[in-house]
Amino acid sequence: MTLFVPSAGWAGFPEALSRTGESRPSVAFRQESALPRHSFGTGVSVLWRSCLLGATACAARERSARSSRKPRWQSRRPQNKMEVLKKTSERRALHKSGDVLSTGTLPVGSGFELYYEEHGQKDGIPVVFLHGGPGAGSSRRMAQLFDPSKYRIVLFDQRGCGKSARNGSTTAEEQLEDNTTWHHVSDLEALRTHLNIDRWVVAGGSWGTCLALAYASKFKDRVLGMVLRAVFLFRPEELEFFCGPSGGARSLAPSAWRSFSSWLPSGLSSAPAVAAAFRRAALGKDGSMSPSDALGKWRAWENHLFSLREQDPKLSFSSTGDKDLPEVSPPKTPWPKATKFNIQALLTLHYVAEQGFLEEELLDSAKEFNFPLKMVHGQNDCICPAENARNLASAVGSNAELLLTNAGHSQWDAENIDAFVRATDEIASECLVTC
């Protein structure tokens, strides 16, 4: 296993190594755990830049020799995997906003039209950013994670949320039909084709990492590289940690768990069963809980975990229990339907109830990735434990590089911004125009 270690060792690094539990060679791990929060930038190290000068000269010769050919973006990996980690004294912030190149919609079937925007440079390196949730929607701030002078940045709302809600719909419930991981994968490929992009960098956070990996499992030849933050693989152990009746998050926040779960019918033995009970109530089929109250409890639980900080929370594997639900009494009069304001909560619990609509583990296909994968993960993340990222790094092998920060789940924690912006800048340095 190849490890990137600074000259002045970090106290937390041996523990990070022991937690990987893997022996796959040439995985690059970096850790910032011993650095003070106020000086994170001092210890962040700039990787992946060896061979850049030689690659630039090579590209210049190639452009001269092939001046008649159409430009094409290609990914290039550094040749020396043992670069010395360089220290920087300045924390990176978001890039300044670039130009909005275009906005548009793309019909993708079942009454959905994807709303998208392009930012940055029209002839820049194509990159698409996949928002979280499912159902969180995109914002223009996400474009600032990328250098607008180097990238052609694509943002879009995934089907069923934001400006991509089903045409004519007024309720959250109307977004569920024909809304699965594989519908999103098809939408993403349709968007790439629509925008006349040959290959692109795929980036995302939280649920967006799961979607990115699912997309690459089907279309890896269309991926130049990946930058992921807060890796989520939708494995049973991750779901049990998140909302299982005996999962890890429950023990981290017992009071919040009681508020979240006290209304649930007895006998639920798995996270999908918990989510399915919430979904049944959210769809107005449980007389004991209104849709708005059920979705409010789900949002409150997610928000609590989002703000919680716990050093390197652990996953513990247990076989997923039965997700069949006990019978409940329906409402005597119909509950008011949940509005589209509730779509993120409803889509999230819907996907948890269906275990992400995944039949195979995403780690299996990740072993075949032949592009650079850079990951940023907060060690204090209580929604997506850092073990997820270590497992993915070990599966991918020498093409993967992982930076563990002292942050939590949020993309907008200063340390996560710093690390993510560095990663996108470094991916840009590895992408060469050949003519």
Please choose, from the candidates 318, 352, 388, the residue with its C-alpha nearest in 3D space to the C-alpha of residue 239: 352
Strands 200-206 and 373-378 turn out to be: unpaired
Instruction: Tell me the DSSP string of 296-325.
Output: HHHHHHHHHHHH---SSPPP--------PP
> Which of 95, 184, 304, 409 is flagged as catalytic?
409
- What is the SS3 assignment for 105-135? EEEEECCEEEEEEEEECCCCEEEEEECCCCC
Q: Which residue has tokens 């639920």?
A: 268
Residue 18 and residue 16: Cα distance in Å, rounded? 6
From 33, 164, 206, 292, active-site residue? 206
Phi, psi of 290 (to 5 degrees): -75, 155
Is the sign of the CA dihedral 64, 65, 71, 76 positive or negative? Answer: negative
Q: Which of 225, 227, 76, 90 is nearest to 145 (CA)?
A: 227
Measure the CA–CA gap between 356 and 348, rounded to whole angstroms: 9
What's the rounded Cα separation, in Å, for the pair 348 and 167? Answer: 21
Q: What phi and psi, each to the nearest 5 degrees, are found at residue 119?
A: -130, 165
Per the annotation, the verdict on 409 as an active-site residue is yes
Helix and strand counts by DSSP (H, E) for the chain: 14, 13
From the list 208, 200, 213, the residue with the least C-alpha distance to 230 is 208
Q: 34 and 11 in contact (C-beta within 8 Å)?
A: yes
Contact in structure between 404 and 386 (CB atoms under 8 Å): yes
Tokens 């650095």 belong to residue: 35
State the catalytic residue, choosing from 157, 381, 413, 425.
381
Residue 183 a catalytic site member: no
- Tell me if residue 184 is catalytic: no
Q: What is the DSSP string of 165-228?
A: SPTT--BSGGG-TT-SHHHHHHHHHHHHHHTT-SSEEEEEEEHHHHHHHHHHHHHGGGEEEEEE
Dihedral sign of CA atoms 43, 47, 53, 59 in order: negative
Closest to 409 in 3D by CA, of 294, 337, 306: 306
Catalytic residues: 206, 381, 409
